[in-house]
Structure 1
Amino acid sequence: MKITIVQGAFYPVPTLRGGAIEKIWFALGQEFARRGHEVTHYSRLCDGLPARETISGVRHIRVLGADTPSSRLRQKWRDFCFTWRVRGKLTPADVIITHTFFSPMLFSPRRHGAIWVHVQRYPQGQMRFYPQAARLQTVSRVIAHAMVNQLPSSLDRVRIIRNPLPPLAQLAQPIARDPNLVLFVGRLHAEKGIELLVEAAALARSQAPSLRFRVVGPHETRFGGGGDALLEKLKLLAQSSDANVEFTGSVFDEAALATHYAAASVFVYPSLAAKGEASPVAPLEALARGCPVVTSDLECFNDTIGFGAFASRFDHTAADASARLLTSIRAAIGNPVSWSVASEAAIVRANEFSIERIATEYLAGFSVLPADES
């Protein structure tokens, strides 16, 4: 089977600038190739990467893109320009997996292959512009329901395949687990609930003074962050309350990032984006490192994180949300025996989302695409 993957305009592949979706499809493409399929992966040309190269059997073609602007209108324009450039380089395939807003409108099933739209964000009504798409695939039930609610006629084309766990980087050396380290990894954006985390850290100064909080991720708008003003606000809040919070900034190197996961005892993802999150990958990576997870009470976590000794939630809509978050963190740390049980359960849960298993689901989906779309 000939498989084409078209990534977005703003991040390169491999993930030299981060990007959970880029990381996932970089790994999936290699798994497809390992199974004998012909895979071509289009992504942004930048950071000294060659315009063309082959990695683990996948042919990579890179096209001029751009940094993420703060303006939504400019984002759409840059997305359009990138997608138009990719369109000029496409060769026929059996299926073309798209990640840009304009791909399903600019690509042709007859010329380029059956269009498989991969949806990672809450839809904003754009599905009605994709009548050519053979499949509208997302990673969680909450997003699938939203897609069908917005476009009832899409029901037969909507599929759910969950995000896989990307391959884990090897640790250069064993890392000692810090029983008091609370970790967040992700973009520093208002919708991620980082302010709640800092407020919880402030409360911890009197209730659990041994706790340390570490926030790993970019704040720059070109990486999808909330910008300098948000970072300064968070730092000021931490400083004024004497909260023990460390802001590391961006960590894009996978081996370096792995050390943060391995060192933490609790991973926190307090997202507020009820209409933004689809299925975050960072909590899944934390589980794979044996780190119990605390999340906000969003539906998107039902399909991956789930429920059990390894995962707990707090009501992010409550007036005392930060206090509830701290209570959940302290419960997750528990005692050495309960934490060890939770850690082992976390690894078992993460293994349910292996690249091999999820790749099989995708290939099964590709194999039954309507004949008139391929």
Structure 2
Amino acid sequence: MTQAKGTVLIIGGGQAGAETAVELRKLGHDGRILIVGEEPFLPYKRPPLSKAYLAGDCTETQLYMMQAANLEKAGIEYHGGVPVTRIDRAAHTVERADGTQLRYDKLVLATGGRARPLPVPGADKPNVFLLRTIADVQKIRAHCQPGKRVAIVGGGFIGLEAAAVLVKKGLAVTVLEGLPRVLARVTCPQVSAFFERVHRQAGVDLRTGVQVAGFDGDAEVKRVCLSDGSTIETDFVVVGIGLIPNTELAASAGLAVDNGIVVDEYTRTADPDIYAAGDCTHHPSRFLGRYVRLESVQNAMEQGRAAARNIMGRQEPYQMVPWFWSDQYDLKLQMVGISSGYDQLVLRGDPATQRHFAVFYLKNGRIIAADTVSRPQEFMLAKKLVAENATVDPARLADETLPLKTLVG
């Protein structure tokens, strides 16, 4: 396979798109590189949105993957603020909402996803906010005065990270999670219980197993209505209940879509001139033995780099072991692997009494996943154990008198 010549056009102004562009230049692509983004901002990092940016600890420009001068120096063009509305695969062009057309030799779909709205009455009121973009956070921050009441719908990463920030800013925070425990889709009951306790100790009114029926108020929401008939007074609402992958462009262009844009191990779609990377892709995972769509900044960045390498003719399969992280208060939760289907749990440390510990998930005696809380060194070793699908004596794994590095082959 020969490397791509000519124009590489990247749709999407997030980390997957930016990493693809930067890697192409590093690998010596001397053709035109364009990034087309729907938002008016330069390509930026999303993880700080619910943490440092919401807290006011970083500026908008500090979110940018590259400043304008660096993009110009690298010869990477950025066209923001006007979304792409159509791909013409036969003509190798894309059309934007203003009618302009751009030609490509290779196209990368790094379209990411959009925040999932809450389908209940009143969710369209102006003080109900999603949390996915710079503009979303700017709107939320305008309401963040000490003493204000905020209801956060969703006890996943976004909801809990926002809760940690807003309660520290002096707001009265209520978190509403429909499932019986927070983080239920990604971790074990012991880790869920730990974070529930941490948030409640910080002053968050955290409620699990509750269903939001709607929002009440005239011009703005004044009350959250629950399915049991009770209400919660609030000044504004933040909704963090997941992501919808942006696959519409791919589908309308006749590309395969199945819980994401379907790509092969080289990040290619069925069209040899179109690649995809990031939250929008449904890709084969050698580690998991199946197709998967991952909502992870690490996946977005590494898959973007893989797309660039394959556009340049490297023929390198994308083989990342999934990993994730979340900052809440002074705690860093780091996770590697996918824990669903485990048949044995090994605790290294005690989540009931400590603020740092590790959890290992085993299946048929092999380590398939691990969570660590504020144990960065052990996380690095856990990544190796998970990648190797290692077999370790559970009793030795749980014994904190044995350094974890002695268990790594």
- Regarding TM over 0.5, the answer is no
| TM-score of the superposed pair, with normalisation by structure 1 | 0.31
So what's the TM-score if we normalise by structure 2? 0.30
Highest Rg: 1 or 2? 2
Q: Which structure has greater helix proportion?
A: 1
Give the structure with the larger strand fraction. Answer: 2
